[in-house]
Structures are given as structure tokens and as C-alpha cells.
Amino acid sequence: MSPLTGYLLLSALIFSVGLAGALTRRSAILVLIGIELMLNAANLNFIAFWRYGPNPQALTGIMFAIFSIGIAAAEAAVGLGIILAAYRHSKTTELDQMNSMKG
């Protein structure tokens, strides 16, 4: 197995764990964290392909990872803000209890 395959398999595993968490957990915060994990898995792919790709001087993979980290930070800030606002309305962060559209 080549090193690249190892990294890609690890990244696929992290992605699936994040997906499983986002789909099965009841807490909205953990769903957000699961999404962050999926983004991180994609970052690992970018870096691995940059390292083992044909043209590492181009830095494209690094650039994608940097921008992806920035976007993930923005997403986390807004997502957690939304969770706080939702908590004020429904007094819970459990997703299956947030089932009413009325504030």
C-alpha cells in the first residue's frame, strides 16, 4: 500500500466518523462538530495529494487547505451562534426536541 493510499483511507475513515456523528447524535453542537470533522478529512486529502502529487511546487493543495480552515472557522462561529439563538427560543439544543417552527 502506498503512503498516499494510507492517508486517503484515514481521511475516508475520519469523514465517515464525522458523517456518522452528524447523522446520529441528538445534540446540535455535536452535529456541527461532525461537519467540522468532515471538512478536516477533506483538508487531509488536499495536503496528501499536494505532497504526493506530481507538482508540489504549485502549492494548490496547501492553498485549498488554508482557505478551507478559514471557512471552517467562520462556519463554526456562525453555527454556534445559531445554536445559541435557537437555545434561547426552545431552551434545548437536542435536535429532536426542536420540532416547532414557532418561536
Partner 1 sequence: MTVTFLILAALTLAGTVAAMAMRNLIHCVLALTLGFAGLAALYLLLGAQFVGFTQILVYVGAVAILAVFVIMMTQSAIPAMQSIFSSFWVAGSVVAAAVFAVLAWAICRSGFASQVLPPVEAAVHPIGDALMHGYVLPLEIMGLLLTAAMIGAVVLAMHEKRRTP
Residues of the shown chain interacting with partner 1 in the complex, contacts defined by CB under 8 A: 1-10, 12-21, 23-27, 29-30, 32-34, 36-37, 40, 43-44, 47-48, 50-52, 56-57, 59, 62-63, 65-67, 69-78, 80-85, 87-88, 93-96
Q: What are phi and psi of 53, to 5 degrees?
A: -75, 175
Beta carbons within 8 Å of 87's beta carbon, 6+ residues apart: 93
Residue 60: CB minimum distance to partner 1, A: 9
Residue 101: CB minimum distance to partner 1, A: 18
What's the CA angle centered on 38, arms 32 and 43, to 5 degrees? Answer: 125
11 and 40 in contact (C-beta within 8 Å)? no
Residue 70: CB minimum distance to partner 1, A: 5
Residues in the chain: 103
